[in-house]
Structure 1
C-alpha cells in the first residue's frame, strides 16, 4: 500500500493528463456507429460508464492535488530524465490545482446530463470530451510555453468536433468561423514563441522570467514583442475585446451540454494571461504598461457585454454576452496586480463559470418547452412548467447579476474591496455597479418576455395550435433540471465556504507573486548555488547529444544536477563522459565553476 502511495505521489501531476487521454483512446477503440444507431448500440452503456467513472476519478485526483497544493508545496514533475530548462516539466501549484478542480466540478455534472440522450446525437462525443479535458489539464499544469501551445491545440481540436455535435447548417457555418479564428490565433502563438525562443534561448516559464533581465536591449524588446503576441492569443481564447466578438454567436449554436462545457474554455485564456504575466513577463515597466492595458480592456469588455445582452434577440446569445461581461470584470481585477485583487478575481472566476454552465442548461430546458419559438425573445404561449422554470431563471438572474446573498455578489464585493489602493478606484466601482444595474435591467427584460408576457395556451381542440401545444413536453429533458439544481447548490455551498475558499485563494495569489519560489522549485542549481541554464544565449551553440562522440565537455560537472541518478548510472552516459564528470567534480575544492553552459569544441 505504501509503495502505491509513494508511486502516486511521485507521479502525481501526470495522472490528470493520462486519465482523460487513456479514456479517450479506449473510447475510440470501442468504435462508434452513425449517430442514428447510437441509441441501440450495445456499446453505448459502456461508453457512458467508462466516461463517467473516468471523470469521477479525475475529480478525485484533482481534489487530492488541491490538498497537496494547500500545503504550499510546488510539485515539479519531469516528463523525461532531464530537468528544466533542458527537459519538459509539469508544475503543480495552488493555481493549477484550483483550476483542475473547477474543470472537473463543471465537467462531471455536464457529462452526467449529456449521458442520457445528448450523446446519441453525434459520433465520438465522449472521446472528444476527454480529449478536451486532457488539453485543459495539460494547459493548467505545464511549465513550458511550447507545451502550453500543444495542449491548447489538443483542446481546440476536440472543441472543433464538439461544436459540430448534433450537426446542422448554423453549427457548420459558425464552426468554420471558429476554426478560422483559432487557426489564426495558433499561428500568432507560434510566431510569438519563435520570437521568445530566438531572443531568450528557452521556453521554460521560470527560465524565461529569469533570463529576460539579462538580455541585450534589442533581444529584450524582441522577447517582449513575443509576449505581447501571446497576450493577443490569450485574449482571443478568453474572448476579451477587441478580439472576443466571436463568442456569443458561436456558443449559441452549440448543443446544450457542449455550450455548458465550453464555459470553461474562456477561463483557460484568463488563466494563461494570469500565469504568463505572473511567472514570465513581470518586470516593473512591462507590469505598469500591461496593468493599464488590462484595466481599459476589462472595463470596456464588461460594459460591452452587458449592452450586447440588453440587445440580444435569443436567450443563448444573451448568455454569451453575459459571459463576456463577466470576463471583463475578471480582467479588471487582474489589472490591479495585487494579491487581494487576484484572489478576488479567482473567486469570481469560479462563480462565472458554474453559473454560465447552469444558464446554458436552462436555455435547453426553455427551448424544449417553447416549440417553434425556441429561445427567441418573442411572445409565446406559457410553457407547461412556467412556475418552476421562472423561479430557476430568477435565481440564476440574481446570481449572475451579482445580487446578495449569492456568490456573484461576494465576488464583486471582494473585487471592489481590492480597489482601495488603486488610483482608478472610483472608475472601477462606478463601472462595476453600472454593469450590475444594467444586468438587472437586461434580466428583467428577458424574464418579462419569456414568462410574464407569455400568453395563455390555446384551449380549443379544433385549432392546430392546441395540438402543437399538447405535443410539447410537460417535464424537463432528462436530467436537465437536476443538473441545474446541482450546479446552483454548488454555488450556494461556495458562498457558505467563502472564508475557506478565500483563504486558499489569498495564499494562491501570494504564491503567484513570489517568482523566486517558483524559479527555485522548477530550476536546478549547482554546488555554487547558481542556476544551471544557458546565459547568454548563443544561437550557434549545439549541445552534445547523449550519443555524442568523445569530445571534451567543459559542462560535464553539471550533468549530475540535471538528470536522475538512474539515468546517470545507465547506458546513455559513456565511460569517457563519466571520467570527465569525475575529474571535474574532484576540482570542487578549487574556485567554483560557472553554472552556465560553455560551448564545446566540434
Structure 2
C-alpha cells in the first residue's frame, strides 16, 4: 500500500491525462466492424464497460485532486524529469482541479446516457470521447503555452469526429465550417506563440509571467501583441462575439450527447482567457488593453445571445444562443479584474456548463416526443409525456434565466456584488438585469409554443395523423430523463452548498492572481536564489542538452537544478561532466559572482 501511495504521489497529476489516453488507444485497438452493425457487434459491451470504468476512475481521480488542491498546495509534475522552464510541466492548482471535476462530473452521466443507443450510430464514438477528455484534462493541467496548443489540437481533432457522429448532410456542412474556423484559430495560435517566444524566450507560463515586466519596450510590445492574438484565439474557442457566430448552428446539428458534452468546450476558451490573458499578461499595458475590450465584448455577447434566442426557430439553436449569452456574462466577470468578480465568474461557469448540457439533453427528449415536428417551433400535438417534459423545461428555464433561488441567480448576484468598485457598475447591472428579463420572455415564448398551444392529438384511427402520433414513443429515450434529473439534482446541491463552494472559488481566484506563488512552485533557483532561466533573452546563452562527451560547458553547475538526483548519479552522465559540475560548484563557493550564466562557445 505504501508503494502505491508513493507511486500516486510521485506521478500526480498526470493520471488525469493518462487514464483517457490509454482508454482511447485501447478502444481503437479493440477495433470496429467494417460494414456490420455496432449494435450487434460482440465488442460493443466491452467498449461500454471500458468507457464506464475509465470515466468513473477519472472522476474519482479528479475528486482526489480537488481535495489535494483545496489546501492551497500547487503540485507540479516535470515530464521526462526536465524542470521548468526547460521542460514541460503539469500544474495542479485549485482552478485546474475544479475544471477536472467539472469535466468528469459532466462526462460520466453523458457517457452513461450515450451508451444505450447513441454510440451505435458511428464507429469509434467511445475512443473519440476519451481522446476529447484527454485533450480537456491536458489543457487544464498544462503549465506550458505550447503544450496548451497541443492539447487544444487533441480535443479539437476528437471533436471533429464527434460532431460528424451519426452522419447527415447538415452535420457534414457545418462540420466543414467548424473545422475551417478552428484551423484558422490554430494558425493564429502558433503565430501568437511565435511572437511571445521570440520576445520572451520562454513559453512556460510562470516564466513568461515573471519575464514580461523585465523586457525591453520593443520586446514588451511584441509579447503583448502575441498575448492579444492568443486572446482572439481563445475568444473563438469560447464563442464570444464577433468570432462566436458559429456556435448555435454547429451545436444544433450535433447528436444529443455530443452537444451536451460540447458545453464544456466553450469553457476551455474561458479558462484560457482567465489563465493566460488574466494572470500571465497582468502588466498595466496588456491588462489595460484587455479591460477596454473585454467588458464591451461581454456586454454585447450577452445581449446578442438572448436576442438571438428570442428569434430562434428551433429549440437546439435556442439553447446555443442562451449558452452564447452566458458566455457574455462570464466575460463581464473576468473583465472586472478583481478577486470577487473572478470567484463569482467561476461559480457561474460551473452552473452554466451543467445547465446547458441538461438543456441539450432535454432537446433530445422533446424531439422524440414531437415526431416529425422535431424541435421546430411549430404548433404540434401534445406530447405523450407533456407533464414530465413541461415541468423539466420549467425548472431548466428558472435555472438558466437566473431566477431565485437557483445557482444561476446566485452566480449573477455574486457578479453584481463584485461591481461595487467598477466605474461601469450601472451599465453592468442594467445589462445583466435586462438579459435576465429577456431570458424570461424567451423561455415564455418557447413554453407557449411547445406546451400551452399544443393541439389535441388526433383521435380518428383511420387518419395518417393518428398513426403518426401512435408511432411516437410513450416514454423518453432510455436514460435520457434520468440523466437530466441527475444533472439538475447536482445543480440543486450546488445551490444548497453555495457558501462553502463560493469560499473555494474565492481562494481559487486569489491563488491564480498570485504569480509569485506559481513562480516559487514551478521554477527553480540557484545558490544565489536567482531563478534559473535563460532570460533576459540572449541567443548566446544556450544550455548544453547532451551530457556525454568532453565539451567544455561553463554552465555545468546548473545541471543539478534541472534533472533529478537519480538521473545525475546515473550511468548516462559522464565522469568528465561530473568533474565539471563539482569544479564549478567549488568555484561558486569561493566566488559567488561566478554563478552567473555564461555564453557557450560557438
Please confirm whether the aligned pair reaches a TM-score higher than 0.5, indicating the same fold.
yes
Is 1:127 the counterpart of 2:119 in the alignment?
Answer: no
User: Which sections of structure 1, spanning at least 5 residues, go unmatched?
Assistant: none
State the Cα deviation string for residues 244-282 of structure 1 (Å, max 9, x = none). Answer: 000000000000000000000000000000000243111
Q: Separation in 2 of the partners of 1:496 and 1:298?
A: 28
Partner of 1:424: 424
State the Cα deviation string for residues 436-457 of structure 1 (Å, max 9, x = none). Answer: 0000000000000001000001
Contact 1:36–1:121, Cα closer than 8 Å, also in 2:
no
Once the two structures are superposed, the pairs formed by residues 546-565 of structure 1 within 5 Å of their partners are 546-547=546-547, 549-565=549-565
Contact 2:70–2:94, Cα closer than 8 Å, also in 1:
yes
**In structure 1, the residue corresponding to 2:532 is in which secondary structure?**
coil
Partner of 1:226: 226
Partner of 1:337: 337
Partner of 1:27: 27
Q: Separation in 1 of the partners of 2:598 and 2:360?
A: 57
Partner of 1:147: 147
Partner of 2:351: 351
Deviation at 1:36, TM superposition (A): 5.5
Is 1:193 the counterpart of 2:201 in the alignment?
Answer: no
Q: Separation in 2 of the partners of 1:531 and 1:185?
A: 33
Query: For the aligned residues, what is the CA RMSD?
Result: 1.1
Partner of 2:257: 257
Contact 1:238–1:327, Cα closer than 8 Å, also in 2:
yes
Contact 2:365–2:477, Cα closer than 8 Å, also in 1:
yes
Contact 2:540–2:599, Cα closer than 8 Å, also in 1:
no
**In structure 1, the residue corresponding to 2:419 is in which secondary structure?**
helix
**In structure 1, the residue corresponding to 2:90 is in which secondary structure?**
strand
**In structure 2, the residue corresponding to 1:554 is in which secondary structure?**
coil
Once the two structures are superposed, the pairs formed by residues 562-573 of structure 1 within 5 Å of their partners are 562-573=562-573
Contact 2:306–2:325, Cα closer than 8 Å, also in 1:
yes
Deviation at 1:463, TM superposition (A): 0.9
Partner of 1:403: 403
Contact 1:70–1:504, Cα closer than 8 Å, also in 2:
yes
For normalisation by structure 1, the TM-score amounts to: 0.99
Partner of 1:98: 98
State the Cα deviation string for residues 148-173 of structure 1 (Å, max 9, x = none). Answer: 00000000000000000000000000
Contact 2:548–2:577, Cα closer than 8 Å, also in 1:
no
Once the two structures are superposed, the pairs formed by residues 5-24 of structure 1 within 5 Å of their partners are 5-24=5-24
Contact 1:206–1:279, Cα closer than 8 Å, also in 2:
no
Q: Separation in 1 of the partners of 2:593 and 2:428?
A: 53
Q: Judging changes above 3 Å, is the alpha-carbon distance between structure 1 residues 593 and 566 closer, same or farther for their aligned structure 2 residues?
A: farther
Q: Separation in 1 of the partners of 2:489 and 2:413?
A: 21
Contact 2:554–2:600, Cα closer than 8 Å, also in 1:
yes
Q: Separation in 2 of the partners of 1:598 and 1:350?
A: 49
Deviation at 1:292, TM superposition (A): 2.1
Q: Judging changes above 3 Å, is the alpha-carbon distance between structure 1 residues 528 and 541 closer, same or farther for their aligned structure 2 residues?
A: closer
**In structure 2, the residue corresponding to 1:143 is in which secondary structure?**
coil
Contact 1:534–1:596, Cα closer than 8 Å, also in 2:
no
**In structure 1, the residue corresponding to 2:162 is in which secondary structure?**
helix
Q: Judging changes above 3 Å, is the alpha-carbon distance between structure 1 residues 36 and 301 closer, same or farther for their aligned structure 2 residues?
A: farther
Is 1:83 the counterpart of 2:83 in the alignment?
Answer: yes
Q: Separation in 2 of the partners of 1:512 and 1:541?
A: 31
Contact 1:533–1:595, Cα closer than 8 Å, also in 2:
no
Deviation at 1:576, TM superposition (A): 1.4
Once the two structures are superposed, the pairs formed by residues 268-279 of structure 1 within 5 Å of their partners are 268-279=268-279
Q: Separation in 2 of the partners of 1:364 and 1:570?
A: 59
**In structure 2, the residue corresponding to 1:419 is in which secondary structure?**
coil
Q: Judging changes above 3 Å, is the alpha-carbon distance between structure 1 residues 537 and 298 closer, same or farther for their aligned structure 2 residues?
A: same
State the Cα deviation string for residues 478-521 of structure 1 (Å, max 9, x = none). Answer: 00000000000000000111111111111001101111001111
**In structure 2, the residue corresponding to 1:76 is in which secondary structure?**
strand
Partner of 1:487: 487
Partner of 2:161: 161
Is 1:326 the counterpart of 2:344 in the alignment?
Answer: no
State the Cα deviation string for residues 161-188 of structure 1 (Å, max 9, x = none). Answer: 0000000000000000000000000000
Q: Separation in 2 of the partners of 1:593 and 1:17?
A: 43
State the Cα deviation string for residues 531-589 of structure 1 (Å, max 9, x = none). Answer: 00012212355432214542322211111111100111123322111111101111233
Is 1:111 the counterpart of 2:134 in the alignment?
Answer: no
Deviation at 1:410, TM superposition (A): 0.5
Q: Separation in 1 of the partners of 2:593 and 2:471?
A: 82
User: Which sections of structure 2, spanning at least 5 residues, go unmatched?
Assistant: none
Q: Separation in 2 of the partners of 1:35 and 1:477?
A: 26
Q: Which moves more between the two structures, 569-578 or 182-191?
A: 569-578
**In structure 1, the residue corresponding to 2:537 is in which secondary structure?**
coil
Partner of 1:438: 438
State the Cα deviation string for residues 61-114 of structure 1 (Å, max 9, x = none). Answer: 000000000111100100112100001100000000000000001000000000
Partner of 1:314: 314
Q: Separation in 1 of the partners of 2:338 and 2:2?
A: 41
State the Cα deviation string for residues 307-345 of structure 1 (Å, max 9, x = none). Answer: 000000000000000000000000100011111100000
Partner of 2:172: 172
Q: Separation in 1 of the partners of 2:348 and 2:537?
A: 41
Q: Separation in 2 of the partners of 1:449 and 1:34?
A: 44
Partner of 2:214: 214
Partner of 1:522: 522
Q: Which moves more between the two structures, 545-554 or 442-451?
A: 545-554
